[in-house]
Amino acid sequence: MTRTLPRLFGLLLLGVLSSLLLLCSCETSRTREASNPAREAQRVSDAAGASLSGAASSHQIMRLDSKGGVKYKLAQSVMAAALIRQFHDGTVIDRIMVRKAPGSDAARPVYYLIGMGHNNGSYRAVALPLHGTDDSTFYLTPSASRYVISG
């Protein structure tokens, strides 16, 4: 009788710990609700990258200097973070650039903000057209088309 009580207590303790472990592992694999409006509001509340996600008015992205070089007005890390939020699927943007579209008119060239990265080993890129002004300043508008390439 004295030997069975410690064994019974040990089995009971083992059962409690096992069930606790199972409950904890089930809790961590739970996904969050994507339709939660509070999370949506938090995601677009970043003022610096809000124009990239379509939540604010036009935002100045870059300006061309006299030699045709690009001078960024918004930090590339801020643009990359906003594009990562734009994808919202685990894509990591690690390169941001602005390029002139090939074959565009020399008088009014079209420039694109391009973000390149990867998601689960596959290549992902997004291109957003920039709206140019007469003083060589380029803006990203919330209604701009988004061209996504996956490969």
Taking residues 33-48, report their average pLDDT. Answer: 46
Over the Cα atoms of the chain, what is R_g? Answer: 26
Look at residue 116 and tell me whether its pLDDT is greater than 90: yes
Residue ranges per structural domain of the chain: 48-150
pLDDT digits (tens, 9 = 90+) for 62-106: 888 888 788 888 888 888 888 888 888 888 998 999 888 888 777
Residue among 145, 139, 128, 131 nearest 59 (CA): 139
Whether 104 and 137 have beta carbons less than 8 Å apart is answered as no
pTM score of the predicted model: 0.60
Give the C-alpha separation, 68 to 28, whole Å.
Answer: 52
H or E stretch at 60: strand 59-64
